[in-house]
A = this chain, B = another copy of it.
Amino acid sequence: MSSQLISLVNTDRIIGKHVFGNLYDIDPKILNDKDFLHNLVLEAVKIANMKLVEIKSWNFGGKKGGVSVIALVEESHIALHTWTEYNYATLDVYTCGENSNPQAAFEYIVSQLKPKRYQMFYADRSSE
């Protein structure tokens, strides 16, 4: 009986896991440190058990300025955006494959940014 049940599950599909959230009340010095944030995402790629394709980071000036770091991993992404004057950041860790662990990567970045409050959500990005 159990083998019949297992045979009904489609294992030949794309497994996509997307953990994302909003991080409030972060030390603004951290949020403007492009190198620190770049390396944070790089480390998170390893923790999520993903293969890095390319990573890039940008600095934005002005009142609503901050840093963006985007990593393309096979075949999904990690995106961190920060707004220094608002002590605010958003984080998306979207990974593919059974063995990927986006939540561990999300929690690692949170542990380093130390927001006073944050929200975390999950979206299933798998094919049928």
- Whether the Cβ atoms of A24 and B127 lie closer than 8 Å is yes
Please tell me if the beta carbons of B88 and A127 are within 8 angstroms of each other in the complex. yes
Q: Does A106 sit within 8 A of B, measured CB to CB?
A: no
Q: What number of A residues sit within 8 Å (CB to CB) of B? A: 38
Taking a contact as CB atoms under 8 Å apart, the answer to whether B75 and A81 are in contact is yes
- Residue A28 is within 8 A (CB to CB) of chain B in the complex: no
Interface residues of A (CB under 8 A from B): 13-14, 16, 18, 20, 22, 24, 53-54, 56, 58, 60, 64-66, 68, 70, 72, 74-77, 79, 81, 83, 86, 88, 90, 92, 94, 96, 121, 123-128
Pairs of residues from A and B, 7 with the lowest C-beta to C-beta distance, nearest first: A88-B127, A86-B127, A90-B125, A14-B83, A77-B79, A14-B86, A75-B81
